[in-house]
């Protein structure tokens, strides 16, 4: 029974760390009770659980390091708690810094996001590994301690569960199915709340080129912006969690377009809803966000890396809001000027070719 028990703990913890919805905490608590009762070796139990956490965390760290924003978008797209994925986890990472890796196992949502986020933000792997092992050891140790404290109750309950056999397994599967269904319902309800009219990247570009650009607001968190150091020209940076604080500095008589890099424009739609609830009328998220803008081949400008990891400055937001429309128009004017210059150069080349052809024709003597 002991090898099977240790193997069950290892694979349950590993699968959970890799992202499967198989909660390992109940398994660790029961394992803690069995270890306290002398049925499982404490050292082997701790070592295997730690190894499972290290493998899962390292795999996600390397994925984030290699693929960056693509991995973060994938996780948010498949997450059963997308609202947590897009906003709360990154704000927690920014608030706690590297310490977020230590507490990640205790925070729903952050446990899955912290390792790839650490990789995407280029945290040193050795530092990450030390913090990850420390956090995993605290999480595992607490679960085993709870199991040891509840040993009498768990030891008495286990024979009854064994006697019930298939019925107990069926009950657990039903409860697991109910949990998945509930989380999926929460997910659908969240996206239903975000349903509102978007503006396409083509329409936004047309407005910018047409001389009537809206105020463009980048609502990405500093961490998300540090992963993708590009933005739409002239865009203000007001992270989602700062929108309500700085809404007084945004013009109410102009159209406002908000964008992010999360699936379904979740952060941009949340920010738009905040502004609409406070009396703003001409507010729309950008369909497809920054990714769609870049994919369409429209011009972007670089974000200074140091600024991407800082916090919003009310003074700079207020000052930039007054000139953001002009900046966006200048960016669009630059694109138009570039196109005109290219066309003019083509016309010059065509005229030169025509003159050359005419000269050549004049030099030919009649036969």
Which tokens is 269 given? Answer: 């739609």
Instruction: Please report the sign of the dihedral spanned by the C-alpha atoms of residue 128, residue 133, residue 135, residue 139.
Output: positive
Q: Are strands 256-259 and 215-218 parallel, antiparallel or unpaired?
A: parallel
CA distances from 207 to 171, 219, 265, 295 (A): 58, 20, 20, 18
Residue count of the chain, please give it: 367
Which structural domains are found in the chain, ordered by start? 2-193 (no CATH), 201-341 (3.40.250.10)
Task: Report whether 135 contacts 17 (CB < 8 A).
Answer: no
**DSSP 8-state secondary structure symbol assigned to residue 259:** E
Three-class SS of residue 254? coil
Map tokens 């990714």 to a residue: 291
Three-class SS of residue 302? strand
Q: Which alpha helices (H) appear in the chain, and where do they start and end?
A: 2-17, 25-36, 42-67, 69-78, 82-83, 89-96, 99-103, 110-120, 125-149, 151-164, 166-193, 201-209, 222-227, 243-246, 266-277, 289-295, 305-308, 314-363
pLDDT per residue, tens digit, the chain (367 aa), is 444 588 999 999 999 998 887 889 989 999 999 999 888 999 999 999 999 999 999 999 999 899 877 787 777 666 655 554 555 666 667 777 778 889 889 877 678 888 988 888 889 999 999 999 999 999 999 999 999 999 888 888 777 666 555 665 676 677 777 877 776 776 676 666 666 789 999 999 999 998 788 999 999 988 888 888 899 999 999 998 889 899 888 998 899 999 998 777 888 888 998 999 898 989 999 999 999 999 999 999 998 754 444 444 433 444 444 444 444 444 444 444 443 443 444 443 444 444 444 444 333 333 3
Three-class SS of residue 46? helix
Map tokens 């290892």 to a residue: 10
Map tokens 């890396």 to a residue: 305
CA distances from 254 to 213, 215, 216, 251, 284 (A): 9, 7, 10, 6, 12
Q: What whole-number distance in Å separates Cα of residue 272 and Cα of residue 197?
A: 10
Q: What whole-number distance in Å separates Cα of residue 333 and Cα of residue 326?
A: 10
Task: Report whether 279 contacts 293 (CB < 8 A).
Answer: no
Map tokens 């008495």 to a residue: 156
Which tokens is 304 given? Answer: 């200074």
Question: What's the pTM value of the predicted model, to 2 decimals?
Answer: 0.61
Task: Report whether 238 contacts 318 (CB < 8 A).
Answer: no
Which of 192, 176, 60, 160 is CA-nearest to residue 116? 60
**DSSP 8-state secondary structure symbol assigned to residue 366:** P
Which of 72, 82, 78, 71 is CA-nearest to residue 192? 82
Count of C-beta atoms within a 10 Å radius of residue 270: 23
- Residue 57 sits at the vertex; the CA angle it makes with 51 and 60, to the nearest 5 degrees, is 140
Map tokens 């409860």 to a residue: 175
């Amino acid at each position: 029974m002991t090898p099977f028990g240790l193997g069950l703990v290892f694979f349950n913890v590993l699968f959970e760390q890799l992202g499967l919805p198989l909660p390992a905490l109940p398994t660790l608590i029961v394992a803690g009770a069995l270890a306290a009762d002398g049925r499982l070796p404490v050292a082997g139990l701790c070592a295997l659980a730690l190894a499972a956490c290290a493998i899962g965390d390292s795999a996600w760290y390397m994925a984030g390091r290699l693929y960056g924003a693509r991995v973060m978008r994938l996780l948010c797209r498949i997450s059963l708690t997308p609202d947590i994925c897009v906003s709360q986890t990154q704000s927690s990472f920014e608030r706690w810094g590297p310490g977020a890796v230590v507490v990640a196992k205790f925070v729903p949502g952050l446990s899955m996001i912290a390792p790839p986020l650490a990789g995407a933000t280029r945290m040193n792997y050795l530092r990450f590994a030390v913090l990850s092992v420390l956090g995993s050891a605290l999480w595992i140790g607490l679960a085993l301690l709870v199991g040891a404290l509840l040993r009498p109750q768990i030891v008495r309950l286990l024979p009854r569960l064994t006697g019930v056999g298939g019925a107990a397994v069926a009950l657990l599967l039903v409860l697991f199915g109910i949990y998945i269904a509930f989380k999926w319902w929460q997910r659908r309800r969240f996206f239903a709340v975000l349903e509102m009219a978007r503006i396409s990247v083509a329409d936004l570009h047309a407005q910018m080129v047409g001389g009537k650009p809206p105020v463009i607001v980048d609502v990405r968190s500093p961490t998300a912006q540090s992963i993708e150091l590009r933005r739409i020209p002239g865009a203000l940076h007001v992270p989602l969690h700062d929108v309500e604080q700085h809404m007084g500095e945004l013009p109410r008589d102009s159209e406002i377009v908000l964008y992010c890099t999360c699936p379904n424009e979740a952060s941009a739609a949340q920010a738009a809803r905040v502004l609409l609830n406070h009396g703003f009328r001409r507010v729309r998220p950008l369909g497809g966000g920054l990714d769609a803008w870049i994919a369409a081949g429209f011009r972007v400008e670089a974000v200074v890396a140091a600024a991407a990891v800082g916090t919003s400055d009310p003074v700079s937001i207020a000052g930039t809001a007054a000139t953001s429309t002009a900046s966006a128009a200048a960016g669009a004017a630059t694109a138009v000027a570039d196109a005109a210059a290219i066309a003019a150069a083509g016309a010059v080349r065509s005229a030169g070719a025509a003159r050359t052809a005419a000269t050549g024709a004049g030099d030919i003597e009649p036969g």
